[in-house]
Structure 1
Amino acid sequence: MYLKYFYDSYLAQASYLVGCQATGEAAIIDPSRNIEPYVSVAQDQGFTIQKALETHIHADFVSGVTELARRTGATIYHSAEGGVNDGYDFDPTLPQQGLHHGDIVSVGNVQLKAIHTPGHTPEHISYELTDCPNAGQPIGIFTGDFIFAGDVGRPDLLERSAGMKGTADKGARQMFHSLQHFKAYPDYLQIWPGHGAGSACGKALGAIPTSTVGYEKMYNPALQHTNEQEFCDFLLDGQKEPPAYFAKMKEVNPTGMTPLSEVPAGVVMDLNGDAVAELAKSDNKMVVDTRDPFDFAHQSIPGTINIPFPDLFSEWMGRLAAYNHDIYIIIEPHHIDDIRTILINMGLDHVKGFFSPSVVKSASNIQSYYNQTPIEIKRDDLQIVDVRYRDEWEVGHIPGATHIPLHKFPNGLETLTKDQPIAVHCASGKRSAIASSILLNHGYTVINMIGGFNRWKDEQLITSN
């Protein structure tokens, strides 16, 4: 048996290649849309990719099962359980098969057994892996978004991203019962999850790539609850606002997205800064400057939005980008391939062009904002804008501040006046840098509070509520 782990650190997404060295067959579990890494490894190892398996309808990346089916002829295997999610509706010309609880998919001498594990979504299935004929019992289980290292999948995405009312509580109760069955597994069984730390599909995922049933039973907080209602309250509490692009993923993944062969790659463009500023003025275009926030604060092209790469790029493109807008990126040339991959894996296909950061220097009209620590800011002559999430705001905030969460921008800005400067902050100063660029584009005088609310508390030596 051959097992290969793939990890997209930008989207915190894991996928797997399982191969039988005796027969040369291979399967990919939860592939991303960029299938080149799987094809490359399969070729290097002498495998033919014959199967593409889904654990569920994903909300945080574009699934690559249809891309694999088109490119390699692999059969798509997906859940036939659940039904609330409308199920899969792939192109009927693609080879495919629905799976029910207990069904077995053979990859040469390796067996993958489908186990219905609803909770994160109604149709979710996991796959037990047994290396036959060497063993009669499974060695591990691919858990998708069912169980992670240190966490379990959130059950509220159908309600919060797809608008399906009442599914969050129902999903939490399904998760509770799925976990009771999971606890019956032997402690030695390995867990291969679909995500790692940083994923928005849970609230406290661990950074380690794998775990075991025994370890999770001992230390995973979600597995310590024996009362269903207490578990549901625990699981639903503290789940952050899902990125806006999750709704698009729930829309495209049941059918599969446009083949990559039909998606323009975007070109490196030779325009000056003034021409880029004209692009940024258009209502249906988004020009993203990926430079360090301090560089952007010193000098930027009007109309551009600062989403630094790699630190915040994936999350905030997913929260702020519109799928019907053409996208242009200011980025160092050696990062273009990475940016392309991130965007296609998020389904942001309207990438029209890339510019070198040197384009900023060619603009005849530039804009800038200030960076100051809380102690340097005189709050009595400023408007203070807090761009953190609501749960952060409710724990504590600066008296007199206006709360406009960054993921809601630019909505709510009409409550602000342009007669006074704005001191904008988040928890540490990263999200507020993005907000500063947007406020700047709307004509406000901006100060980004270095260190954010955390530093404000330290420098004021008080907390606020």
Structure 2
Amino acid sequence: MKVEQIYTGCLAQGAYYIESKGEVAIIDPLREVKPYIKKAAANNAAIKYVFETHFHADFVSGHIDLAAETGATIVYGPTAKPRFDAYIAKDGEVFTLGDARIKVLHTPGHTMESACYLLTDEKGKEKALFSGDTLFIGDVGRPDLAQKISHELTKEKLAGYLYDSLHDKILPLPDDIIIYPAHGAGSACGKNMSAETTDTLGNQKKYNYALQPMSKAEFIAAVTEGLTPPPAYFPKNVLMNVQGYESINSVLEHGTQALSPDAFEAAANETGALMLDTRSPQDFAKSFIPNSVNIGIDGNFAPWVGALITDIKQEILIVADEGREEEIVTRLARVGYDNAIGYLKGGIAAWQKAGKETDSIESISAGELDRRMQAEPDLSVIDVRREEEYTTGHLQGSKNLALDYINDHIGEVEKNKTAYVHCAGGYRSMIFNSILRSRGFHNLVDIQGGFKEIEASGKFNITGNATPVPGEKQGTGS
């Protein structure tokens, strides 16, 4: 028997490949399905089942395309009502996979259809639990997402269901069971997840705050405390996972159309498409197409797209480093942004060679910021990190305008006054600057390296004791 976790850092998401005697099950696949198919073919195996732990909110699953291409059966837990062909399993139902067995445990709480899958090996030993968003390493699934679909399901009611699911179905399992969750640190599906992506149930009983002995009322209070609003795209992804979606092959076909500078410019003018520049923040700062927005591909790309592009049906034109166009269309599709209509062939160099207009954003070092502050002590600094990051440690006198809520903050930025913008490491600040630049704010200056460089320089008055934020550094996952 073979079990492989296929972890995608950009989404902090774990899919799973399970194989026994030439038969394969995939749990919670990503939108692009060819890697699973190739893996099975390389092992002379066939994909028999696609198990879904629930209707995901943070990404669009590849269940429909994978079933269509392989003939596999899509399996959901009890109460799921998908609008496509799928098998709705009973609580406790067992599926045969080669010489292994997979048992369905209905675990409502994160959502009502949530299910965990208990894997028993060829010798009859219970080996692993694929816990979806019911149980994470260090946390449990947040109980407030399903209420976006049904107002009758309050977060308190869902938390109560989750308490029962954990105590009735999961905690009685053997301590040496390996927990394989759907997400790790960085996902918005929980609030206290570990950077570790697997653990034993015994360890989680010791260290996971939500599994400590407590009453149901205490549990409900603990898991509902401190929940921040979920990203706006979450309900839209749920609906795509319930209703179905365009084939990934079709999405890739229209999204990877190569457009000359003239054709790209015409498409932008005629369609009103968003020009999304996915290059690194500093490359973008040097030269970009006016009114384009920067969300770098080498960062938490898909979650920021979902958080900031409010219309999931928005047509998108892509500016990218050469050779990365298909990757970008794929990663957009992972969170349901299926309407990319092409990319700039030859990238920004081709645009410049064609004599097209470009813009730039001033980006300075922490040392240069210090020099300017010496000359002008009261200059305006905007910190676009999240409130909890800002509270932990920040530049004295700076204003916190979190990128997550940029539309709420625009009225607090003065168009005619120079302001210096930073985040933790330089990724989010350029997103913030590019969005405001596209809306007519021309007096924002970016601070390279963000708060990390400001603090490391030792030249500034820092309030609090800052700690780095996981996942913002360039290159965190794909």
Q: Distance in 1 between matches of 2:201 and 2:303?
A: 30
- What 5-or-longer segments of structure 2 have no aligned partner? 465-478
Q: CA deviation digits over 1:280-331, x for unaligned, max 9?
A: 5677311111222122222221111111121132221121223222112211
Structure 2 counterpart of 1:153, from 141, 146, 156? 141
* Paired position in structure 2 for 1:17: 17
User: What's the CA shift for 1:278?
Assistant: 6.1
Q: CA deviation digits over 1:368-422, x for unaligned, max 9?
A: 2223435345476655444333444566766776554323334542453322123
The letter for the 2-side match of 1:433 is M
User: What's the CA shift for 1:56?
Assistant: 0.7
Change (3 A) 1:25 1:462: closer
Q: Distance in 2 between matches of 1:391 and 1:271?
A: 44
For residue 463 of structure 1, give the secondary structure of its aligned residue in structure 2. strand
* Paired position in structure 2 for 1:98: 88
1:239 and 2:236 aligned: no
With structure 1 as the length reference, what TM-score do the two structures score?
Answer: 0.87
The letter for the 1-side match of 2:370 is I
**Which deviates more, 123-132 or 196-205?**
196-205
Q: Distance in 2 between matches of 1:427 and 1:58?
A: 29
With structure 2 as the length reference, what TM-score do the two structures score?
Answer: 0.85
Q: Distance in 1 between matches of 2:134 and 2:372?
A: 46
- What 5-or-longer segments of structure 1 have no aligned partner? 82-86
For residue 69 of structure 2, give the secondary structure of its aligned residue in structure 1. helix
- Mapping for residues 35-114 of structure 1, pairs under 5 Å: 35-81=33-79, 87-91=80-84, 94=85, 96-114=86-104
For residue 230 of structure 1, give the secondary structure of its aligned residue in structure 2. helix
* Paired position in structure 1 for 2:5: 5
User: What's the CA shift for 1:213?
Assistant: 0.7
* Paired position in structure 1 for 2:472: none
* Paired position in structure 2 for 1:405: 402
Q: Distance in 2 between matches of 1:223 and 1:196?
A: 17
* Paired position in structure 2 for 1:180: 167
Structure 1 counterpart of 2:106, from 87, 92, 116? 116
Q: Which gives a bigger RCO, structure 1 or 2 (Cα 8 Å, sep 6+)? A: 2
Q: Distance in 2 between matches of 1:283 and 1:463?
A: 47
C-alpha contact 2:393 2:462 (8 A) present in aligned 1: no
1:369 and 2:361 aligned: yes
C-alpha contact 1:331 1:354 (8 A) present in aligned 2: yes
Change (3 A) 1:431 1:51: same
User: What's the CA shift for 1:128?
Assistant: 0.8
User: What's the CA shift for 1:218?
Assistant: 1.6
User: What's the CA shift for 1:359?
Assistant: 3.5
Q: Distance in 2 between matches of 1:394 and 1:247?
A: 30
C-alpha contact 1:88 1:255 (8 A) present in aligned 2: no
Q: Distance in 1 between matches of 2:462 and 2:406?
A: 29
The letter for the 2-side match of 1:267 is T
C-alpha contact 1:279 1:287 (8 A) present in aligned 2: no
Q: Distance in 1 between matches of 2:303 and 2:107?
A: 27
- Mapping for residues 14-413 of structure 1, pairs under 5 Å: 14-21=14-21, 24-81=22-79, 87-91=80-84, 94=85, 96-132=86-122, 134-135=123-124, 137-159=125-147, 162=149, 164=151, 167-181=154-168, 182-263=170-251, 264-272=253-261, 276=264, 280=268, 284-321=272-309, 322-355=311-344, 356-362=347-353, 363-372=355-364, 373=366, 374-378=369-373, 382-392=379-389, 404-413=401-410
Q: Distance in 2 between matches of 1:396 and 1:225?
A: 34
For residue 257 of structure 1, give the secondary structure of its aligned residue in structure 2. coil
The letter for the 1-side match of 2:106 is H
Q: CA deviation digits over 1:172-228, x for unaligned, max 9?
A: 222223232322221111111112332221223233332111111122232225133
How many pairs align? 451
User: What's the CA shift for 1:139?
Assistant: 1.2
C-alpha contact 1:155 1:236 (8 A) present in aligned 2: yes
Change (3 A) 1:267 1:32: closer
Change (3 A) 1:312 1:20: closer
Change (3 A) 1:10 1:417: closer
Instruction: Give the fraction of aligned pairs with identical amino acids, expressed as a percent.
Output: 35
Task: Let me know the Cα RMSD of the aligned residues.
Answer: 2.8
For residue 274 of structure 2, give the secondary structure of its aligned residue in structure 1. strand
**Which deviates more, 367-376 or 430-439?**
367-376
Q: Distance in 1 between matches of 2:247 and 2:83?
A: 13
Q: CA deviation digits over 1:50-87, x for unaligned, max 9?
A: 22111111111112222122222212211223xxxxx4
C-alpha contact 1:18 1:27 (8 A) present in aligned 2: yes
1:435 and 2:432 aligned: yes
Q: Distance in 1 between matches of 2:45 and 2:37?
A: 9
The letter for the 2-side match of 1:239 is L
Q: Distance in 2 between matches of 1:289 and 1:192?
A: 35
